[in-house]
Chains A and B, each alone.
Chain A
């Protein structure tokens, strides 16, 4: 093997191991902050794999979008609401874990079997290298014009919707009639769904003298 292919193989192995271990860590670690940071590592290794495939524009875009935006926002969300809560114990958690693990293992075995029995057309098309940026632009403005433009509607609506849902101010009266908002249409009490109710109540009891 030449140095180039050896280096490529070593890079591929390192990236793949990082990717798989990182992804398992994201799912399995109990500390959600660690999961979020590991997710960043996973995104970076995916970017590295793109680089190995000679798709540098996609790699840079992956880093910019997933690491720089998505992962940072996830971390933000976690750090801003990182409040310790007494979560209710889930009945039969161990059994559930075993079951979901079995389902995942089965799916993995299936994918592996499909992967091994398929005759893949190898090697794939020649990578374009730096010309890829131009070609991506061409595609976005020719045969993928419709999805590209529709994506702008999607993003606009997601942004507006997120702002509407996150905004704290709510109307207290009907704009047209001026009457107070119809309480029959909206539920009054908010029940915490995942909290351990008994612990919550006992802590409330302790607080009230």
Chain B
């Protein structure tokens, strides 16, 4: 209230404009949970591990409820054009919040048993969520940069959170250095855009300026901004940080980074490229076609050779990002809905897989693929869950991932992106090979061929605090992955409603139509 009062005093001319602060109510819920975590943490580790989980659940669940209330609400730019809660923003923010919720559910036990403080872990993860959620809805360059940095800085901190593990420190350092370079490049591009608008930072002003100025500067700005987006979604050749960071970081953090951070990156890509650089459509589509082909090929082929489960999933996530980029390149109604649908599907199948990996490493302390040999005999739950999620990631019917992928390929085919679709199909087959080989390792091995880790497998107990939540998340993810495919109609409707309720995307589709017909 004081802020609004102060601003009324200094700027009497703009008091008539509305802040529309209600648009960021979900973020406020997350922020309150964050602060509550920090305050509770002051009371000591024991109290923190008792109270931090419910606080986080409350914050994230109320954020999800508030997001649901924003669905299809009348659109008004809030904070004088800094933020827009259109359906696209709501959908991607829901994916981000959902990924944080699931990551938190599967991380308590892991964090406790690795002897790292819980309160700060939750607070930093919530800050990353906050950054990612703001990133999904930001509509001016400054807000985009600050939310990008909130997400990035929190991610660096999280990846270095296991401070006694040299790999974790190495991951954090690499991520920090590469991420800072990416941020610098983005700032350079943004400063060029700021110069082009002649003093405006809103994305609409930038789009207007880009239409009127057809100089090399705009191309340069496009390349710089695109590099940042590609870094955030880890597209080849901006992917080098991914495997090392994924391998070194704590596993629950990787789960969040691979879904939440990536979803925010795609939301940013949509806002910047579709909403802003629409006058350079052919150029950025060409660049993204190249990025998508490289990502699908390299991600899936290199994943074949991995021996570490986390590293394999890192490369597979690069490949998955390549699939999603097909939808971005299409730029049709189906393409955008397919993107949204696939991100939602990816949320459940990837986090389900990570829940299984975390459970396995909690019980054996290993994440080598060969250590999974013969797991079926000892732990059917992990085997079943991991198998279903990996099959879904590979796109085997009737899993959720299959429908997501087929929708993406269908959208690409309808938009005549034959090369992309063919490459996607071939690399899908490659990915199925390495996903199935993990499943084969777990299921088929005879008891005597089981790995040492599995032979000395501990008794399965769910009584320790943090384990029930892990089981809940695992079962929920696996159920949705398995059943969601058959009952995917609501998801399809949701995805198309997202695109229908986003004026920015509708404009892009409308302007693309004549080209597609002609």
Direct A–B touching in the complex (beta carbon < 8 Å)? yes
A-B contact count (CB 8 A): 169
Query: Are A143 and B153 in touch, CB under 8 angstroms?
Result: no
Contact flag A176-B365 (CB < 8 Å), given A144-B142, A157-B157, A170-B115: no
Of B38, B46, B120, B160, most A-chain CB atoms within 10 Å? B120
Query: Are B165 and A146 in touch, CB under 8 angstroms?
Result: no
Contact stretch, chosen from B123-131, B415-423, B442-450, B501-509: B123-131
Contact stretch, chosen from B214-222, B278-286, B430-438: B214-222
Give the residues in chain B near A119, CB-CB below 8 Å: 215
Give the residues in chain B near A1, CB-CB below 8 Å: none
Number of A interface residues at 8 Å Cβ cutoff, please give it.
Answer: 51
What is the distance, in angstroms, from B63's C-beta to the closest C-beta of chain A? 15
Query: Are B217 and A118 in touch, CB under 8 angstroms?
Result: yes
> What is the CA–CA distance of A186 and B165 in the complex, to the nearest angstrom?
5
Q: Mark A140-163, 1 if CB is under 8 A from B, else 0.
A: 011111110011011011101110
Other-chain residue from B38, B172, B216 in contact with A117 (beta carbon distance below 8 A): B216
Query: Are A142 and B80 in touch, CB under 8 angstroms?
Result: yes
Contact flag A143-B82 (CB < 8 Å), given A117-B216, A175-B49, A186-B164: yes
Q: Mark B64-104, 1 if CB is under 8 A from A, else 0.
A: 00000000000000111111000000000000000000000
What is the distance, in angstroms, from A176's C-beta to the closest C-beta of chain B? 5
Contact stretch, chosen from B6-14, B265-273, B289-297, B309-317: B6-14
Tier of interface size on chain B? 35 or more
Contact flag A186-B114 (CB < 8 Å), given A147-B146, A157-B124, A157-B154: yes
> What is the CA–CA distance of A114 and B140 in the complex, to the nearest angstrom?
25
> What is the CA–CA distance of A37 and B458 in the complex, to the nearest angstrom?
57
Query: Are B45 and A160 in touch, CB under 8 angstroms?
Result: no
Contact stretch, chosen from A75-83, A94-102, A187-195: A187-195
Give the residues in chain A near B38, CB-CB below 8 Å: 160
> What is the CA–CA distance of A125 and B172 in the complex, to the nearest angstrom?
43
Contact flag A147-B120 (CB < 8 Å), given A182-B114, A184-B361, A186-B164: no
Give the residues in chain B near A191, CB-CB below 8 Å: 166
What is the distance, in angstroms, from B257's C-beta to the closest C-beta of chain A? 15
What is the distance, in angstroms, from A15's C-beta to the closest C-beta of chain B? 19
Query: Are B130 and A153 in touch, CB under 8 angstroms?
Result: yes
Query: Are B124 and A161 in touch, CB under 8 angstroms?
Result: yes
Give the residues in chain B near A204, CB-CB below 8 Å: none
Give the residues in chain A near B116, CB-CB below 8 Å: 170-171
Query: Are A157 and B162 in touch, CB under 8 angstroms?
Result: no
Query: Are A147 and B115 in touch, CB under 8 angstroms?
Result: no
Query: Are B115 and A142 in touch, CB under 8 angstroms?
Result: no
Other-chain residue from A138, A179, A187 in contact with B11 (beta carbon distance below 8 A): A138
Give the residues in chain A near B466, CB-CB below 8 Å: 176
| Contact of A110 with B by CB under 8 A | yes
Query: Are B123 and A157 in touch, CB under 8 angstroms?
Result: yes
Query: Are B46 and A121 in touch, CB under 8 angstroms?
Result: no
Contact flag A185-B82 (CB < 8 Å), given A153-B150, A157-B123, A171-B116: no
Give the residues in chain B near A182, CB-CB below 8 Å: 113-115, 362, 365
What is the distance, in angstroms, from B248's C-beta to the closest C-beta of chain A? 9
Give the residues in chain A near B112, CB-CB below 8 Å: 174-177
> What is the CA–CA distance of A189 and B169 in the complex, to the nearest angstrom?
13
Other-chain residue from B114, B153, B366 in contact with A181 (beta carbon distance below 8 A): B114
Other-chain residue from B120, B143, B198, B220 in contact with A146 (beta carbon distance below 8 A): B143
Query: Are B115 and A171 in touch, CB under 8 angstroms?
Result: yes
Of B31, B78, B131, B164, most A-chain CB atoms within 10 Å? B164
Of B49, B153, B170, most A-chain CB atoms within 10 Å? B153
What is the distance, in angstroms, from A107's C-beta to the closest C-beta of chain B? 10
What is the distance, in angstroms, from A149's C-beta to the closest C-beta of chain B? 8
Contact flag A144-B131 (CB < 8 Å), given A118-B216, A160-B124, A185-B162: no
> What is the CA–CA distance of A6 and B330 in the complex, to the nearest angstrom?
56
| Contact of A164 with B by CB under 8 A | yes
Query: Are B157 and A141 in touch, CB under 8 angstroms?
Result: no
Query: Are A165 and B216 in touch, CB under 8 angstroms?
Result: no
Query: Are B150 and A157 in touch, CB under 8 angstroms?
Result: yes
User: Smallest CB-CB separation from B157: which chain A residue?
Assistant: A161
Give the residues in chain A near B199, CB-CB below 8 Å: 125
Give the residues in chain B near A171, CB-CB below 8 Å: 45, 115-117
> What is the CA–CA distance of A144 and B194 in the complex, to the nearest angstrom?
15
Query: Are A146 and B82 in touch, CB under 8 angstroms?
Result: yes
Give the residues in chain A near B465, CB-CB below 8 Å: 176
What is the distance, in angstroms, from B153's C-beta to the closest C-beta of chain A? 5
Other-chain residue from A141, A158, A161 in contact with B120 (beta carbon distance below 8 A): A161
> What is the CA–CA distance of A50 and B466 in the complex, to the nearest angstrom?
54
> What is the CA–CA distance of A141 and B113 in the complex, to the nearest angstrom?
45
| Contact of B149 with A by CB under 8 A | yes
Contact flag A147-B142 (CB < 8 Å), given A138-B10, A142-B11, A164-B117: yes
| Contact of A123 with B by CB under 8 A | no
> What is the CA–CA distance of A173 and B422 in the complex, to the nearest angstrom?
53
Contact flag A160-B82 (CB < 8 Å), given A119-B215, A174-B115: no
User: Smallest CB-CB separation from A164: which chain B residue?
Assistant: B120
What is the distance, in angstroms, from B28's C-beta to the closest C-beta of chain A? 11
| Contact of B24 with A by CB under 8 A | yes
Other-chain residue from B142, B157, B361, B362 in contact with A164 (beta carbon distance below 8 A): B157
Query: Are B365 and A184 in touch, CB under 8 angstroms?
Result: yes
| Contact of A113 with B by CB under 8 A | yes
Give the residues in chain B near A158, CB-CB below 8 Å: 153, 157
| Contact of A91 with B by CB under 8 A | no
Query: Are B217 and A150 in touch, CB under 8 angstroms?
Result: no
> What is the CA–CA distance of A156 and B127 in the complex, to the nearest angstrom?
9
Give the residues in chain A near B80, CB-CB below 8 Å: 142-143, 145
> What is the CA–CA distance of A92 and B14 in the complex, to the nearest angstrom?
60
Give the residues in chain A near B127, CB-CB below 8 Å: 153-154, 156-157
> What is the CA–CA distance of A82 and B362 in the complex, to the nearest angstrom?
39
Give the residues in chain A near B78, CB-CB below 8 Å: 146
> What is the CA–CA distance of A186 and B163 in the complex, to the nearest angstrom?
9
A-B contact pairs, 28 of them (CB 8 A): A110-B220, A113-B216, A118-B217, A121-B198, A125-B198, A150-B131, A150-B150, A154-B131, A156-B127, A157-B127, A157-B154, A158-B153, A161-B124, A164-B120, A165-B157, A170-B115, A170-B116, A175-B45, A175-B49, A177-B113, A177-B464, A181-B113, A181-B114, A182-B362, A185-B110, A185-B113, A186-B165, A187-B167
Closest 10 CB pairs of A and B: A184-B365, A161-B157, A181-B115, A141-B7, A171-B115, A157-B127, A143-B80, A146-B79, A146-B82, A147-B146
Q: A119-B215, A144-B142, A181-B113 are in contact. List 8 more A-B contacts (CB 8 A).
A: A118-B217, A150-B130, A154-B149, A162-B157, A175-B49, A175-B112, A184-B365, A185-B113
